[in-house]
Amino acid sequence: MCTNPARRAGALAPRRESRRLLAAAFFIVHAHHAPSGSDRVLCLQHLGPARALLPGARLVTGPRNGRRPGSHVGRVIPDHCITQILERVGVAETDMMGIVHHKNYVAYFEKGRLEYMRRRGVPYKDVVGRGIHMPVVELNIRYKKPAHFDDVLSVETRLGALTRVTVRFDYTIRRPPLAPTVSGAEPELLLEGQILLACVDEKHRPRALPEDIVSILFLPEASPGEDLSSQLYSPHEGGAAPDRASAK
């Protein structure tokens, strides 16, 4: 029998890791077989390095300071936590090069975020009325292609991650094809971004996200937007958009 505590702990480590990976495999299989869009729950303490085995899973992480986590910690964010809007580029949104100024994409992000809340039955104005504010504390954008005047842009807002105090939204902006009849035409990816929001009170002090707001963030859209294709092609008869170079 080994009497050295350090050596004994080292000998037990492989067994513990094996048990943890076995438990992780069980939860991963359970998550894959859960009904689509359901609130699937994973025990994060069992996953460890095996989280990467669950493709595309967006997990809600809890605090690491010993505080009691909310009931949302451990939940996989469902695929229905997404909202899409359309924005047509105006003249004032472009710069001297004739492309959308980089700062205006942040405004598109905000419109998408506000619509995300509105379509789930709680306008952000109502949240502020309760003395709760969610300022931006981090912003990341990767620009890939420019947008021009009169382009119609698809702004996709997705719930990305939650902690006890913060919410992250992930964004994708694409330019749909000019006409729906173009064979094999795919929307052009223009940029990807993320915004991290912190929950604070009226004195700008950090506070926990209320459980009812967390529940709302996890809901599907209660009032889905209009048919996006009709918004995209209706201004131009026959589905054809004007030549971008001829726009004044």
Catalytic residue list: 95
Q: Which residues of 207-240 are buried (b: 16+ CB within 10 A; e: fewer)?
A: bebeeebbebbbeebeeeeeeeeeebbeeeeeee
59 — phi, psi (to 5°)? -100, 145
SS3 state of residue 214:
helix
The DSSP call for residue 77 is P
In the chain, % helix, strand, coil (3-state, to 5) comes to 35, 25, 45
Distance of alpha carbon 174 from alpha carbon 147, whole angstroms: 9
> Across the chain, which distance is largest between two alpha carbons, in Å?
86
- What are residue 153's DSSP bridge partners? 87
Residue type, 153: L
Distance of alpha carbon 149 from alpha carbon 95, whole angstroms: 10
